[in-house]
Each structure stands twice: as structure tokens, then as C-alpha cells.
Amino acid sequence: MMIFGGTTLVGQIVIQLAKLSGFSPVIVTASLRNAKFLISYGATHVLDRRLSASELRSAVTDITSLPVKTVYDAVGLRDTQNAAYDILAPSGTLVVVLEDAVDPSKKTPEKKIVRAEGDTYVENRRTSASLIGQLTSLLERGLIKPNRVEVLSNGLAGIPEGLERLRNNERSHLHWPHGEVV
């Protein structure tokens, strides 16, 4: 399995669920400075998110000779979706978190694209109830770790500073404002 955007909030959860589900290898794209963290969450390999699509394909081939049947794009950009689709095995499934942005000229009937959504629908009630029912136990046993977040001071007024830190590449995970809003 391959996951684009390993340090995103969605990516961190998908890595852990992939490990729990027995996927191997679990190949992730991210900033290499986060490799140790992502490996602690279950990634087996971390590839530099700045690699071109052809460099990613080559790196994946160096890691495994097996076809990559599942790719999860937790980023959602046109470039990441197209790179993910290129890596995907002919009978594989690409999971996207935003609207499908894969170049229509690339698409083949053998490759499936599905959109993951976080809402619980009536059709998914049984599966959702099962997962939620096990979540506390998974957390208590350390099988699922919570996302890394940072609480910014000054409530909503702290957002500009947090955004500036992101622009300066000082942090790579999401910052959440906290505090009283006046």
C-alpha cells in the first residue's frame, strides 16, 4: 500500500489502519524530516514528497516488485492524484479525499477511483459502529495513536502566527487554535 501525505491528519490515521490491517509494505510520501515519526506509526518506507512522479515510481519499484494495489491520496492535489494513479496496479484502487482530479486521458476501466468521506451514512452504520466501538480499546492498547496537534495561544488571533510558521516550514502538521474567542 502507498499513502500520499503521511503527515496529514488523515494520512497519520491511514498509516495506522494499514498496519493494523496487515498491509506490507506501507510506503508513505512526506517530508523526510518526519520519517522517524511516520515509521513509529507503521510506515515501512518514507519517500520524499518532493520527488517527481517518475522518481516516485522508480523508488516504489526499488522497494517492492509486487504491484501496488491500493494507493491512498490524503493530499488531494491534481499532481498527487495523477502520480498515485501512475503507481497504481492495473487492478488497483486509488482512494482520494477530494474530488477526482486524475487526468481523464489516463483512466482505464481496470483502475478504480473511490472517494473517502468521513461522514457516517446509514449504509455504513454497521461498519462505523464496529470501528467506533473498538476505537477506545485500540487507543488504550497503543494500536492507534492520536494525531499530533499543537495548541496555538491567543485563540483565533493565533492563526496568523501559525500560518506563518507553516509558510516558513517550521511545522509540518496541523495547528489548531484554542482559547476564548472574543
Scored b (16 or more CB within 10 A) or e, 102-139 reads beeeeeeeebebeeeeeeeeeeeeeeeeeeeeeeeeee
Q: Comparing 37-46, 51-60, 100-109, 161-170, which segment has the lowest mean pLDDT?
A: 161-170
User: Any idea which architecture 2-115 has in CATH?
Assistant: 3-Layer(aba) Sandwich (3.40)
Whether 121 has a pLDDT exceeding 80, the answer reads no
pLDDT at position 128, please? 78
pLDDT digits (tens, 9 = 90+) for 16-71: 999 999 999 999 999 999 999 999 999 999 999 999 999 999 999 999 999 999 99
| 3-class DSSP state of 69 | strand
pLDDT at 171: 64
Residue 102 identity: V
Mean pLDDT, the chain, integer: 89
Q: For position 151, what pLDDT does the model report?
A: 79
Domain definitions of the chain by residue range: 2-115, 130-168
140: buried, middle or exposed (CB in 10 Å: 19+, 13-18, 0-12)?
Answer: exposed
The per-residue pLDDT for range 68-93, each reduced to its tens digit, is 999 999 999 999 999 999 999 999 99
Name residues whose C-beta falls within 8 Å of residue 178's C-beta, 6 or more positions apart in sequence: 151, 152, 153, 155
Q: How far apart are CA 14 and CA 37, in angstroms?
A: 14
Residue 110 has what pLDDT? 97
Q: What does residue 151 show for φ and ψ, rounded to 5 degrees? A: -85, 120
Are 28 and 45 in contact by the 8 Å Cβ rule? The answer is yes
